[in-house]
């Protein structure tokens, strides 16, 4: 595993690497820590990329740079919503990066034939035989259509299925599906500012062997408004934390049930900062209590 000193050297030289093909870098020595996807022999790197604005705007230049930086540092999971699927899929195909990238793809078809057609079109764009993860936002809908999602897996059109939402109001129906064994993945919000998932749904994910992707680590940017102008506590160095972004991400990654935390950015420098959270030590229970005190004081 890459150590912290090596990561800092890598960041310092990142600007020199822009001409290197993605695949060459992805095969290099740098790798984020990875966590196992339950009930599989696959793993995901602990820091992922969200559904970035440059992806759904189709800004291919910045999108290619983001994915290049992400792969350079061993990232794997990219969350791809409707506008972003084709952009990221094209870059995946261009670089033959199917073994490096793991795409959480939102599929909107309302019945099995339309989902088959939609997935077929996506596979034409990105290449490969199967999607990694088909996810939907309509949690109640998933319950009614669970046979259709099971069929997609049986037909080899996707390896995993899941539901993705961003608010605690969705936890009860998600937990029902988890209890029934219908989901491989959940994607939920969790952070110091929105800690409610720790009470029930994360313990249930552990119990039911459900993979967990975390969204809203920065409350869609609100967190940076809170910490702007504040000094990072000196004791953050005890868990190798260099920035306020890493402060939030390391808090999230210290929860053992979390597979991967998504970070949305259109700025490659921010992506490098965020990827840095995966390296080095994580906060212990005492640190986490102190982190909660710091952020909650700012929230008042
Ligand atoms: N399925 C769902 O219902 C759902 C709902 C919400 C979110 N999500 C997923 O979760 C992802 C992340 O959640 P989110 O949308 O709430 O975004 P977020 O990651 O919590 O926050 C994104 C904001 O933080 C800024 N940022 C990121 N890294 C930074 C850094 N190192 N330093 C300073 N600013 C930084 C970004 O600005 P810059 O671009 O300038 O860096 C952007 O304004 C989404 O992209 C999406 O994939 C899914």
pLDDT-based confidence at residue 141 (cuts at 50, 70, 90): confident
Ligand 1, residue 191: give the atom nearest the CA. Answer: 20
pLDDT-based confidence at residue 204 (cuts at 50, 70, 90): very high
Q: Which residues contact 72 (CB under 8 A, 6 or more apart)?
A: 10, 14, 17, 22, 25, 26, 28, 30
CA dihedral 104, 202, 191, 49 (to 10 degrees): -10
Half-sphere exposure of 31 (CA within 13 A, CB side): 12
Mean pLDDT, the chain, rounded, equals 91
Ligand 1 atom 8: residue of nearest CA: 215
Q: What is the pLDDT of residues 219-253, one digit of tens each?
A: 999 999 999 999 999 999 999 999 999 999 999 99
| Ligand 1 pocket mutation, candidates 87, 215, 278, criterion most atoms within 8 A of CB | 215
Model-level pTM? 0.92
Ligand 1 binding pocket includes 170 (Cβ within 6 Å): no
Ligand 1, residue 53: give the atom nearest the CA. Answer: 39
pLDDT at position 22 is 37
Ligand 1 binding pocket includes 274 (Cβ within 6 Å): yes
Q: How many other CB atoms are found less than 10 A from the CB of residue 217?
A: 27
What is the chain's length?
300
49 touches 80 (CB < 8 A): no
Distance CA(262)–CA(70), nearest Å, equals: 12
What Rg, from alpha-carbon coordinates, does the chain have? 19
- What DSSP line would sit under 179-237, residue for residue? HTT--SEEEEE-SSSS-GGGTTHHHHHHHHT-EEEEE-TTGGGHHHHHHTTPPPPGGGG
Q: What is the pLDDT of residues 2-50, one digit of tens each?
A: 444 444 444 333 332 333 333 333 334 357 999 999 999 999 999 999 9
Assigned CATH class of 4-299: alpha beta
Ligand 1 binding pocket includes 135 (Cβ within 6 Å): no
Distance CA(32)–CA(168), nearest Å, equals: 29
168 touches 144 (CB < 8 A): no
Tokens for 98, please give them: 């199917």
Nearest to 63 by CA among 46, 47, 78: 78
- What DSSP line would sit under 80-135, residue for residue? E-TTHHHHHHHHHHHTT-TTT-EEEEE---SSHHHHHHHHHHHHHHH-SSSEEEEE
- Give me the residue spans of the domains in the chain: 4-299
Ligand 1 binding pocket includes 167 (Cβ within 6 Å): no
214 touches 261 (CB < 8 A): yes
Half-sphere exposure of 91 (CA within 13 A, CB side): 28
Report in angstroms the alpha-carbon separations of 181 from 67, 90, 186, 209: 33, 33, 12, 9
pLDDT-based confidence at residue 82 (cuts at 50, 70, 90): confident
Mean pLDDT of 137-164: 95
Ligand 1 binding pocket includes 51 (Cβ within 6 Å): yes
pLDDT at position 9 is 42
Q: 239 CA distance to ligand 1 centroid (A)? A: 23
The fraction of the chain above a pLDDT of 70, given in percent, is 90
Report in angstroms the alpha-carbon separations of 281 from 184, 241, 242, 250: 28, 8, 12, 9
């Amino acid at each position: 595993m890459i150590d912290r000193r090596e990561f800092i050297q890598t960041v310092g030289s990142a600007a020199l690497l822009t001409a290197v093909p993605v695949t060459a870098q992805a095969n290099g020595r740098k790798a984020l820590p990875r966590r196992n996807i339950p009930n599989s022999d696959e793993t995901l790197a602990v820091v992922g990329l969200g559904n970035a604005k440059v992806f759904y705007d189709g800004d291919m230049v910045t999108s290619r740079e983001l994915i290049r930086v992400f792969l350079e540092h061993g990232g794997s999971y990219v969350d791809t919503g409707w506008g972003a699927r084709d952009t990221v899929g094209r870059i995946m195909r261009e670089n033959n990066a199917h073994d490096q990238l793991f795409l959480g793809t939102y599929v909107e078809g309302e019945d099995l034939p339309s989902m088959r057609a939609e997935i077929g079109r996506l596979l034409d764009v990105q290449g490969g035989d199967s999607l990694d993860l088909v996810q939907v936002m309509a949690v109640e809908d998933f319950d009614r259509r669970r046979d259709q999602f099971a069929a997609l897996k049986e037909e080899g059109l996707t390896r995993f299925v899941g539901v993705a939402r961003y608010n605690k109001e969705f936890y009860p129906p998600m937990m029902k599906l988890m209890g029934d064994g219908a989901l491989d993945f959940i994607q939920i919000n969790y952070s110091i500012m929105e800690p409610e998932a720790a009470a029930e749904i994360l313990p249930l994910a552990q119990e039911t062997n459900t993979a967990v992707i975390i969204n809203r680590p920065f409350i869609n940017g609100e967190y940076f408004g809170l910490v702007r102008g504040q000094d990072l506590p000196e004791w953050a160095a005890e868990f190798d934390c260099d920035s306020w972004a890493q402060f939030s991400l390391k808090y999230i990654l210290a929860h053992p049930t979390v597979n991967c935390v998504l970070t949305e950015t259109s700025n490659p420098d921010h992506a490098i900062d965020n990827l840095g959270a995966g390296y080095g030590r994580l906060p212990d229970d005492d640190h986490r209590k102190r982190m909660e005190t710091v952020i909650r004081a700012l929230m008042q």
